[in-house]
Amino acid sequence: MAEEVSSFWGPVTSTDWCERNYMHSSYVAEFFNTISNIPCILLALFGLINALRQRFEKRFSVLHISNMILAIGSMMYHATLQRLQQQGDETPMVWEMLLYIYILYSPDWHYRSTMPTFLFLYGAAFAVVHSLVRFGIGFKVHYMILCLLCIPRMYKYYIHTTDVHAKWLAKLYLATISVGSLCWLFDRIFCKNISYWYINPQGHALWHVLMGINSYYANTFLMFCRAQQRGWNPKVVHCLGFLPYVKIEKPKTQ
């Protein structure tokens, strides 16, 4: 929410959210929307370490890194509320979904070079166009379409997975994205009412936290499914008794 307060970054030039600006620091426009990206970074870092340590395919390392880049871009956007930083948040969102599409569909794609080539060119073209054009609602529709393209394959992986713990990862993925989306909608639709509440529930910040958890569950589930495809005998185990990750046993020939 725009406020007449002292700020380091100047007037707001990006989409503004339902959090009073510069309430905690003149250098951070939306404090809670900024720091709420930290869980995503930490979870993605944990996933990256696990992927590298167990020598998963590079696509999963790139996926975890893309989660971190997205979270950092979101932090910069909400800290500054500038158009350039908003583009630095939205463009990685599209790139990440293109990476998910590749991971989900590539195992059954017979022409190995066509899919990554097309997705790379699509992502590059979007970045160029997005730097020149401010999409607004068009970006949200485009992003939703990319998300919907992933659902059939995620469902296929779910019904072909017999491991109970892996199925729970998929269920938690669905639960966090559903609750997170409700938080996003609540914050956006009822902002005028929320702004008069004594305590702002920070729906957009909750969306960040839940989507960080959601991304980790999605990545872990996909790592399990891919390990199963490769015959690596995957198991879902827990770090410190609560954080799930995939442990594999590769054949000695690999």
pLDDT in tens, the chain (254 residues): 655 455 788 899 998 898 989 988 889 999 999 999 999 999 999 999 999 999 999 999 999 999 999 999 999 999 999 999 999 999 999 999 999 999 999 888 877 788 899 999 999 999 999 988 888 888 999 999 999 999 999 999 999 999 999 999 999 999 999 999 999 999 999 988 887 788 889 999 999 999 999 999 999 999 999 999 999 999 999 998 899 999 999 887 65
Query: Which own/partner contact pairs does 232-238 have at CB distance under 8 Å and 24+ positions apart?
Result: 234/163, 234/166, 235/163, 235/165, 236/163, 236/165, 236/166, 236/168, 236/169
Within 10 Å of residue 175's Cβ, how many Cβ atoms? 14
130 annotated as belonging to a binding site for a ligand: no
Whole-number Å distance between alpha carbons of 162 and 49: 26
160 annotated as belonging to a binding site for a ligand: no
The per-residue pLDDT for 2 is 54
User: Taking a C-beta distance cutoff of 8 angstroms, is the pair 248, 227 a contact?
Assistant: yes
Q: What are the structure tokens assigned to 138, written together?
A: 């068009």
The per-residue pLDDT for 98 is 96
142 annotated as belonging to a binding site for a ligand: no
Instruction: Supply φ then ψ for residue 94, to 5 degrees.
Output: -70, -45
The per-residue pLDDT for 135 is 83
The per-residue pLDDT for 199 is 86
19 annotated as belonging to a binding site for a ligand: yes
The per-residue pLDDT for 3 is 53
Whole-number Å distance between alpha carbons of 248 and 220: 12
Whole-number Å distance between alpha carbons of 123 and 1: 31
67 annotated as belonging to a binding site for a ligand: no
The per-residue pLDDT for 7 is 74
Question: Which domains does the chain show, CATH number per domain?
Answer: 31-249 (1.20.1070)
